[in-house]
Amino acid sequence: MNRLILLASLIFSSIMLSNCGDDDNTPDTVTIQGSQVTIAEDSSTLECLPSSAPNDIAVIACLFYDESVVVVVGETSLKITASSEPDHKSMYYETTNALYEDYNEDDNEDFYKNPNTIASMNYTFTLPRFPEMSANNEDTPFGPMGVSINSVVFYNQVAAPGDDILEELNTFDQYEGHPTNTGSYHYHTEPTWLTEIKGDSTFLGLLLDGFPVYGPVESGVTLTNDDLDDYHGHTGVTAHFPEGIYHYHITADLPWINGGEFYGVAGKVTQ
């Protein structure tokens, strides 16, 4: 059991005992930052693992692991703040940064560096805690459409205005990300750092509609676009949702993460 889940469990048990029979003292939010869970006087007795409904995203809130990510689980929403600074090496960091590393051009002979440098962002995502299918599916935005477990934001399959995304792929660093002209580092495709260290079927993050994103492998099978619907997902059992939930999957081919519209009712992101 990782430290976060263990700590959450201990705090949960302690607060439940202390609040037993006193509904007025029952908190309604839990704040999670990196490997720490902070319980304040107005915070929640909810821990990461138990759920109050089959589609309760609180069960995976503790899997956001980077210290720059803060997750606040509320009664009906999750609020996630993220810097979008990767915890892996990149040639888009300043050369003085400990995470700077040159790109090995043997990996892509067509590689070229874009002129931008990674900067610390201040994104706040407000997502539904209990995501539901939308009756009026909203287009994914140009910009952050979700956030990964290591703080880096997800972008859709559309390049910057005037660019071709298939050409822009050649600017991706050794872990398949790159920054914008404002310094916002992001992934359009599989975040290979996460699938390398966590596994290719792992939970990778959440999109704005609150539905989870998983890696390219499910039940030992590498998925293709043909296995998924127009939104680039499907409904089924996952390691965290034994009763099944709608979820997105990364695939090797366009559109990579999402089909261009959210399956669920989208929340919002601010900076």
Q: What is the 3-state secondary structure (H, E, C) of 190-218?
A: CCHHHHHHHCCCCEEEEECCCCEEECCEE
Query: Is 80 exceeded by the pLDDT of residue 148?
Result: yes
Which two three-digit tokens encode residue 197?
């260290």
pLDDT (average), residues 257-269: 97
Counting DSSP H helices and E strands in the chain, the numbers are 3, 16
Residue 36 has what pLDDT? 40
Distance CA 186, CA 98 (A): 19
Distance CA 258, CA 53 (A): 25
Distance CA 175, CA 103 (A): 10
Query: Which residue would you say has higher pLDDT here, 178 or 38?
Result: 178
Residue 31 has what pLDDT? 56
Cis peptide before 255 (omega within 30 of 0): yes
Distance CA 176, CA 184 (A): 14
Residue 107 has what pLDDT? 87
Which two three-digit tokens encode residue 244?
């099944």
Query: Is 90 exceeded by the pLDDT of residue 195?
Result: yes
Distance CA 204, CA 192 (A): 10
pTM, full prediction: 0.84
The pLDDT-based confidence of 44 (bands split at 50, 70, 90) is: very low
Residue 158 has what pLDDT? 92
The pLDDT-based confidence of 106 (bands split at 50, 70, 90) is: confident
The contacts of residue 1 (CB under 8 Å, 6+ apart) are 9
Query: Is the distance from CB of 118 to CB of 183 less than 8 angstroms?
Result: yes
Domain boundaries, given as residue ranges, for the chain = 83-120+132-270
Which of 146, 191, 188, 192 is closest to 163 using CA atoms?
188
